């Protein structure tokens, strides 16, 4: 009797698992291998803890593991050590103090198949990564982002008008405004199709970023499986999504070059224009290489800031802020009172007001903490064996900080499920003794998000502007009572509030300012 096609599918799969495990077992070992591995759930033969790792809301399961096993937990994923850090101390001890060993990335083969090999967000740690990072830092360091504040202010005030004209589409307005802004800063153009491209790419990346989301990340030999083979749905997805991964890199750069050649003033003032000008005088061979890096960095600025730290983090944090205001109306009234004392009724808030608005700043911090957009940090991997707290962390381990658990630690943030900006206030000022959530929400060590200053400025200005101009209320049902949905977030490597309805009621004194 002939074997079924399904059987032929599983033969190479199981063979590959065995080969992977044998290679890992026979890898050269250091003297640290006498140490025990960190505690964790008991693994099964061959599969390890693959059946213990959930496919949704992993951070909640990992938080329970940390309660049971401690701040550093070990799991085995088809022979690959998975280390979960459940406390700020463990995350900073390893990612910050030992960054030379913990700054590499695991190879995310699904993202490579999707055409994102140009992105230094997933690039292996080394010289090529450092060159990309160095160039991006030139444009998004703390002092340089001051140059982008006028663009941020202009787009956010445009957003206020759109909220007034069509408040029911608030989330679409926020997404479009954030996407338009980053494209303007990076490429110097306005292109709604690029905004749409960004949103589609963000959905694909969110489904892919956590290691193990696709088996090909654990068993790379699967990337050679043809897409027509039963069980190779990941290849069909990768083939379909690849056109977006490559378009992210190519389309914006091509449009910017065209606008620059036409002497478009906005394009001439863009990051891309400055990058290309800097490399134009180099020798041809070096110029070609540097121009490639410039294009990659521009695309990463657009994707990494737009998807992970900007459109992802800012949009999710703004959505969480709006959701919190629906559930905690007393907070927005307290913030409005502070705004009236500092700003008054004759103008909209400016960036220069920020230092005088401690409570609004506390709301910004709480918006980052309450429902983090990246509940699990982007995975790191170890480049050599290490010892921590008496335990072995083997070379090649995937190491992830449970950012959700860190920002919901009841010892640092009492009553963590509550949206409570006052936790950051003492004697009317920001309390430096309370850990700033941005130290965890933007990543760790040398892999910290390069767009964090840009994102922080945008988040503050969006929140303060909405608080000044609108009262956010829940919708009213037929019985005349407010309709309040439970607070619920989506699963995935990027987490957003589930859609909810709300009302934006313009404050009477702000209506003329919105219309202007």
Q: What is the DSSP string of 190-205?
A: --HHHHHHHHHHHHHH
Q: Considering only CA atoms, which of 85, 48, 155 is closest in space to residue 388?
A: 85
Residues in CB range of 291: below 8 A, 6 or more apart = 276, 279
Asked if 113 and 238 touch (Cβ cutoff 8 Å), the reply is yes
Q: Considering only CA atoms, which of 271, 255, 276, 250 is closest in space to residue 190?
A: 255
Residues in CB range of 508: below 8 A, 6 or more apart = none
| Tens of pLDDT, residues 218-236 | 778 888 888 888 878 888 9
| Banded pLDDT at 309 (limits 50, 70, 90) | very low
Phi, psi of 449, rounded to the nearest 5 degrees: -60, 125
- List the chain domain ranges: 28-515
Q: Which of 146-150, 211-215, 237-241 has the lowest average pLDDT?
A: 211-215
Alpha-carbon distance of 245 to 114, in angstroms, equals: 6
- Cα separations in angstroms, 463 against 108, 299, 320: 35, 27, 11
Question: Binding site: what residues are annotated?
Answer: 449
Tokens of 263: 């002497």
Tokens of 172: 């679409």
**Kind and range of the H or E run holding 150:** helix 149-165
Alpha-carbon distance of 82 to 393, in angstroms, equals: 9
**Is residue 7 pLDDT above 60, yes or no?**
no
pTM of the entire structure?
0.87
Alpha-carbon distance of 302 to 310, in angstroms, equals: 9
CA dihedral 383, 385, 389, 391 (to 10 degrees): 130
| Tens of pLDDT, residues 458-507 | 999 999 999 999 999 999 989 888 888 899 998 878 888 998 999 999 99
User: Which DSSP letter does residue 104 get?
Assistant: B
Write out the CATH class of domain 28-515: mainly alpha
Question: Binding site for heme: what residues are annotated?
Answer: 449
Length of the chain: 516
Mean pLDDT of the chain: 86
Q: Once rounded to an integer, what is the mean pLDDT over residues 413-426? A: 97
Tokens of 233: 């749905």
Asked if 181 and 191 touch (Cβ cutoff 8 Å), the reply is no
Phi, psi of 93, rounded to the nearest 5 degrees: -60, -40
């Amino acid at each position: 009797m002939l074997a079924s096609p399904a059987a032929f599918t599983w033969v190479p799969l199981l063979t590959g698992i065995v080969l992977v495990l044998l290679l890992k077992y026979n890898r050269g070992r250091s003297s640290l291998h006498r140490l025990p591995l960190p505690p964790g759930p008991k693994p099964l033969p061959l599969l390890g803890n693959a059946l213990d790792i959930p496919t949704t809301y992993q951070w909640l399961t990992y938080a329970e593991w940390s309660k049971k096993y401690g701040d550093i937990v070990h799991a085995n994923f088809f022979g690959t050590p998975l280390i979960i850090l459940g406390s700020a101390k463990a995350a900073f001890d390893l990612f910050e103090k030992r960054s030379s060993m913990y700054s590499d990335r695991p190879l995310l083969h699904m993202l490579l198949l999707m055409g994102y090999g140009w992105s230094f967000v997933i690039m292996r740690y080394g010289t090529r990564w450092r060159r990309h990072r160095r160039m991006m830092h030139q444009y998004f360091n703390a002092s340089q982002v001051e140059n982008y504040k006028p663009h941020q202010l202009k787009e956010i005030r445009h957003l206020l008008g759109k909220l007034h004209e069509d408040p029911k589409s608030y989330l679409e307005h926020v997404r479009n405004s954030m996407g338009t802004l980053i494209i303007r800063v990076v490429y110097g153009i306005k292109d709604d199709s690029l905004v749409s491209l960004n949103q589609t790419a963000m959905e694909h990346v969110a489904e892919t970023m956590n290691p193990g989301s696709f088996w090909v990340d654990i068993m790379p030999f699967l990337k050679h499986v043809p897409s027509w083979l039963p069980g190779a749905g990941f290849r069909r997805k990768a083939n379909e999504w690849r056109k977006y991964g490559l378009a992210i890199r190519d389309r914006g750069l091509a449009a910017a070059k065209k606008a620059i050649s036409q002497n478009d003033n906005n394009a001439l003032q863009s990051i891309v224009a400055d990058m290309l000008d800097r490399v134009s005088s180099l020798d041809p061979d070096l110029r070609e290489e540097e121009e490639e890096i410039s294009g990659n960095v521009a695309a990463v600025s657009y994707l990494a800031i737009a998807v992970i730290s900007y459109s992802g983090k800012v949009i999710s944090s703004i959505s969480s802020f709006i959701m919190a205001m629906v559930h905690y109306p007393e907070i927005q009234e307290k913030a409005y009172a502070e705004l009236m004392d500092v700003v008054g009724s004759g103008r909209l808030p400016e960036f220069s007001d920020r230092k005088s608005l401690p409570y609004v700043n506390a709301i910004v911090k709480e918006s980052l903490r309450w429902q983090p957009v990246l509940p699990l940090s982007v995975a790191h991997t170890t480049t050599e064996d290490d010892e921590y707290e008496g335990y072995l962390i083997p070379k090649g381990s995937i190491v992830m900080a449970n950012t959700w658990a860190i920002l919901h630690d009841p010892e640092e943030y009492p009553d963590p499920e509550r949206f409570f900006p006052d936790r950051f206030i003492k004697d009317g000022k920001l309390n430096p003794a309370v850990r700033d959530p941005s130290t965890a929400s933007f990543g760790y060590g040398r892999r910290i998000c390069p767009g964090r200053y840009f994102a922080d400025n945008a988040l503050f200005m969006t929140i303060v502007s909405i608080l000044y101009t609108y009262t956010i209320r829940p919708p009213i049902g037929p019985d005349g009572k407010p309709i309040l949905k439970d607070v619920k977030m989506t699963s995935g490597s990027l987490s957003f509030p589930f859609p909810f309805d709300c009302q934006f009621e313009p404050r009477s004194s702000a209506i003329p300012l919105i219309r202007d």
